[in-house]
Chains A and B, each alone.
Chain A
Amino acid sequence: MTYSQFTIKSILKSKMNIFFLIILPIFTVIFLFVNLSAQKQDTIQYNAQQSYSFNQSEAQHIIKNKKHLKKGEVEVIPEYVMLAKENKAILNGIHKNNWNQVYSKQKEVNNHLNAEGNPASFTHELKRNNLLMDYLKSNHIKSPESESYPTHNLTFNLWMDNFIIPIVLLLVMIFILSNTYCKSYSDKINKDQLMPMSLNQQAFHKLTIGTLGFSIYYFMINVWNLIISSIMVGGIGFNYPYYIHNGKQMQYISLINIYWKAFILQIFSILFITSFIYLVTIIFKKRITVIFINIIALIGLSFCVHIFDFLQGIAKLIPSTYFDTVGIVSNNSMNLINKTSFSSGLMVLIISSAIVMLLIALINKLNTKEGRF
């Protein structure tokens, strides 16, 4: 049995590790149900139905009470009637499966709502929705789903990759790798130092297992998400739109462009996380300390760059910024729009991983010299 085989077996034989590994697959099922439930109130049909009912009832109410109302209040009747009509047209379009009509009418509704004096965020949302309608129309995509709570295979998986997987995967990696790497130590003595292989060889084996193992795990989780959502909901095309920022411009691009970039960035994030956990382990050696420091350094910092202004200036240079892979690739990362990019992410993660590995090699050299052999 090789050293690597032994290490892999020791990871898989720990019940605690298995517990951590099944968290994400369980989350997939839970969040799919959450999205299935939430998306019912976030579809074109639902919004059109609500808007139609509201505008119609408001118009009828004003007409009924015309005598008691002021002139200004009565003047809005045509506005309500028009919006009710347009929303009715959207509902008809959906009923007839005429999605070109739906998208055109939705744009008309948006344009009517886009009046002067609206809050900037509302105007922004309307413009964004118009872009979405244009994309859906030009790509002949029918029956679009909720953007906030997607449930179809590719969109749901990307939603998981965006909101759930980065943080949960990071936590799982911290616990499993800290636990595994710290097993080499007993009373701060490195037992594995007695093996007939150098400390750097051991580090190479352990970093390979961590990086490769979690890259495969990440891939498997993505496959699992796709399978479960395909079975329970259904599929969607790779040309389905995804919202991004292109510089300061809003844009919708096809999912496939996000997928491959996010996947590459995630693999390099895994490489950095694995190396960093190993570095912390060989410095501090005690499991609790190692877990605590990794949580503070990796999770803490990846949140702090979104919160503190002073960190946002240097966020581009901090590796943990790029754990939000989908956010970075789509340029939607909270408070970091236009401050990071896919290429800066690759560069920072590769350079910082190399620096961490260099530090590991240096510490191993010092530890070997310590015995003055």
Chain B
Amino acid sequence: MALEVKNLSISFPHLRVINNFTYQFNQNGLYLFVATNGSGKTSIFRSILGLIHSKNNGITIDDKPMAQMRRSVFYYESSNWFDINMSGMDYLKLIKTQWKSNVKINAVIHFWKMENYVNKSIRKYSLGMKQKLLIALYLISDADYLIMDEINNGLDEDSRKKLLKKLNELSQHKCIIISSHYKDEVYPYADKILTIKDHEVINDNH
């Protein structure tokens, strides 16, 4: 089982972003994208998921088109995507149902110590609380491929450590594709490092 990206090129009007990216993400391991701001990390993620237009010769999971494998992947780009009128619990229940997950909601809530606010509307959450909810959604989905864009933003040091430990554990049997501003913290856990430089994605040996 693998997520394959073939000849992915992304460009916007008058702006080339990514040129001819081909790669195979295996079913387990932690893949770290490293690049300066604005170099195209989020665009790659969005293209893989079909959220933006791109040129490619196929983005597949197990040779099946991504559109047929939605339940195998989980991506929620940012805590800004939340409907602030809803509660964290509403989102957790939705993702659990939609991804047909067996992960217990209460266990995740307890792990991230969200008991005090998970039933309140997201409008009342701090940035850290929203980010913990975002991480909880990934855990609840229990998807085989977790694509995370700057997921440790807004977390304190202890929470970041806790997250990396969890991701390391999950990467033994899931594929985790992550980009992070705290790359030095993620480095030790990464199995593969992908660097974006001059519109090309370079596979660094690690």
By a beta-carbon cutoff of 8 Å, the part of chain A in contact with chain B is: 1-3, 6, 9-10, 13-15, 183, 186, 189-191, 193-198, 368, 370-373
From A3, A9, A191, A368, B81 is in contact (CB under 8 Å) with A191
Whether A1 pairs with B76 at a CB distance below 8 angstroms is no
Whether A189 pairs with B51 at a CB distance below 8 angstroms is yes
Complex interface: chain A residues within 8 A of B76 (CB): 191, 194
**Cβ-based interface call for B58 (8 A):** yes
Complex interface: chain A residues within 8 A of B55 (CB): 372
Interface centre among B51, B70, B74, B86, by most A CB within 10 Å? Answer: B51
Complex interface: chain B residues within 8 A of A2 (CB): 94, 97
Complex interface: chain B residues within 8 A of A10 (CB): 83, 85-86
- The residue on B at minimum CB distance from A186 is B81
Whether A373 pairs with B53 at a CB distance below 8 angstroms is no
- The residue on A at minimum CB distance from B53 is A370
**Cβ-based interface call for B46 (8 A):** yes
Q: List 28 A-B contacts (CB under 8 A).
A: A3-B94, A6-B86, A6-B93, A9-B90, A10-B86, A13-B85, A183-B83, A186-B77, A186-B81, A193-B49, A193-B50, A194-B51, A194-B73, A194-B76, A196-B70, A196-B99, A198-B67, A368-B50, A370-B50, A371-B47, A371-B51, A371-B54, A371-B66, A372-B55, A372-B58, A373-B50, A373-B60, A373-B68
Complex Cα distance, B83 from A14, in Å, reads: 10
Complex Cα distance, B98 from A2, in Å, reads: 7
Complex Cα distance, B75 from A13, in Å, reads: 25
Interchain nearest-CB distance for B44 vs A (Å): 13
**Cβ-based interface call for B148 (8 A):** no
Complex interface: chain B residues within 8 A of A368 (CB): 50, 67
Whether B99 pairs with A371 at a CB distance below 8 angstroms is no
Interchain nearest-CB distance for A96 vs B (Å): 62
Interchain nearest-CB distance for A11 vs B (Å): 9
Interchain nearest-CB distance for B110 vs A (Å): 20
Whether A189 pairs with B71 at a CB distance below 8 angstroms is no
Complex Cα distance, B65 from A198, in Å, reads: 13
Complex Cα distance, B86 from A183, in Å, reads: 12
Complex interface: chain A residues within 8 A of B65 (CB): 373
Whether A194 pairs with B54 at a CB distance below 8 angstroms is no
**Cβ-based interface call for B56 (8 A):** yes
Whether A1 pairs with B71 at a CB distance below 8 angstroms is no
Complex Cα distance, B80 from A6, in Å, reads: 18
**Cβ-based interface call for B103 (8 A):** no
Complex Cα distance, B98 from A3, in Å, reads: 8
Complex Cα distance, B123 from A14, in Å, reads: 11
Complex interface: chain A residues within 8 A of B53 (CB): 370-371
**Cβ-based interface call for B59 (8 A):** yes
Interchain nearest-CB distance for A177 vs B (Å): 15
From B52, B94, B121, A6 is in contact (CB under 8 Å) with B94
Whether A13 pairs with B93 at a CB distance below 8 angstroms is no
Complex Cα distance, B176 from A46, in Å, reads: 82
Complex Cα distance, B80 from A166, in Å, reads: 36
Whether A194 pairs with B85 at a CB distance below 8 angstroms is no
Whether A373 pairs with B90 at a CB distance below 8 angstroms is no
- The residue on A at minimum CB distance from B50 is A371
Whether B90 pairs with A372 at a CB distance below 8 angstroms is no
Complex Cα distance, B71 from A189, in Å, reads: 19
Complex interface: chain A residues within 8 A of B47 (CB): 371
Taking A1-B97, A196-B71 as given, write out 11 further A-B residue pairs in contact, using a Cβ cutoff of 8 Å, ordered by the A residue number. Answer: A14-B85, A183-B83, A189-B46, A191-B81, A368-B50, A370-B53, A371-B50, A371-B51, A371-B66, A373-B59, A373-B67
Interchain nearest-CB distance for B5 vs A (Å): 11
Whether B94 pairs with A189 at a CB distance below 8 angstroms is no
Given A1-B97, A189-B52, A195-B98, verify A371-B70 contact (CB < 8 Å): no
Interchain nearest-CB distance for B17 vs A (Å): 15
Complex interface: chain B residues within 8 A of A372 (CB): 50, 54-56, 58-59
- The residue on B at minimum CB distance from A373 is B65
- The residue on B at minimum CB distance from A10 is B83
Convert B95-119 into 0s and 1s, putting 1 for each residue whose CB lies closer than 8 angstroms to a CB of A: 0011100000000000000000000
